[in-house]
Structure 1
Amino acid sequence: MQRLTALLAGLVFGAGVTVSGMVNPLKVQNFLDLIGAWDPTLLLVMGGALAVTLAGYAFVLQKPKPLFTEDFQLPSTSTIDARLICGAVIFGIGWGMTGFCPGPAIASLAFGLLPSFVFVATMALGMIAVRLLTRVSRQMADG
C-alpha cells in the first residue's frame, strides 16, 4: 500500500507541474528574467504549493502516526552548514541555467524531449558523484 500511495502522490505531482506549465524550462527562465519577459506564474504555483503543504502538514501532524508506516519521516536537524549552502547554490545555478528542477524534469520525460533526458541523466550522474565523493571523504577522515 505504501508504494501505491507513493505512486499516486507522484502522479498527482507530475500532473500538477504539467498542468501549471512548470515542465517548460522557459517558464522558469522567464520568471528569473526580471527586466525582460518576466512571467510571475511560477510565484503563483509556488505560493499555491506552499499553502497546500502548510495545510497538509497541520492536518497530518495532528495524527499519532502515518497511515502506512510506523513514524513520521521529519528532518532531524535544522543546522545550516557548508554542505547545505553549497547544495543550494549548485541547485539554484542549475535551475537558473536550465530552467529544470528535479521533479518537473522527471515529469517532462513524458514528452520525450532530448533536453529533459539530458538533464535527468546529468542529474543522476551528479547524485552518484556526490555519493561517491562523500563515501571517499568519510573513509579518508576515518583513517
Structure 2
Amino acid sequence: MAHLRKLLPPIASGSLFGMGLTVSGMTDPQRVRGFLDMFGDWDPTLAFVMGGAVLVMAVAWRIQARMTKPVFGEKFALPDRTDLDPRLIAGAALFGIGWGIAGLCPGPAVASLVLSPVHAIPFVAAMLAGMLLQKITMERKVAS
C-alpha cells in the first residue's frame, strides 16, 4: 500500500500533463510542425502553450524557494549550470532535430499512444531504443 501511495503523485501529475497536452492540441504533430514553419502557414498555438508553461513555472519557482523540502520527496533535485556539457548539448540538438522532423517529443508521444497509437508507436519505439542505446553506451563507458 505504501508503494502505491508513492506512485500516486507521479501518476496524477503525468495524467494531468497528458490531458493538458491533449486539450492544447500538442499531441498533433501537424500543429508542432506548423509552429516551426515560420515562413509558411505559421501556427502560433505552441507559443501560447509555452507562454502558459513559463507563467506556471515562474509561480512554481517562487513557491519552491520558500519550501524546505518537496511535498512528495526528500529533497529537491534542481539543475545548475554545471550540468552543461557536450553530451547534454548534443542531446538537446538531436532532440530538437527529431522534434522538428516527427512533430512529437516524449510527453505528447506517450499521450498520443491513447489517442492515435498507430502514429505514436513508431516514435515511442524509436525513443525507447534510443534510451536503451544510451544506457548501454554509458554502462560500457563506466566499465572501461
TM-score (norm 2): 0.91
Q: Does 1:125 align with 2:106?
A: no
How many residues align? The count is 140
Please, which of 4, 10, 26 is the counterpart of residue 8 of structure 2? 4
Q: Does 1:36 align with 2:40?
A: yes
Identity of aligned residues (%): 44
Alpha-carbon deviation of 1:3?
A: 1.4
Q: Does 1:115 align with 2:119?
A: yes
Distance 2:112 2:128 in 1: 15
**RMSD of the alignment, in Å?**
1.3
Alpha-carbon deviation of 1:77?
A: 5.0
Q: Secondary structure of the residue that 2:53 maps to in structure 1?
A: helix
Q: Secondary structure of the residue that 1:35 maps to in structure 2?
A: coil
Structure having the larger proportion of residues in helix: 2
In structure 1, runs of 5+ residues without a counterpart are none
**1:5-20 correspondence to structure 2 within 5 Å:** 5-20=9-24
Alpha-carbon deviation of 1:79?
A: 3.8
Please, which of 50, 63, 68 is the counterpart of residue 67 of structure 2? 63
Distance 1:58 1:2 in 2: 25
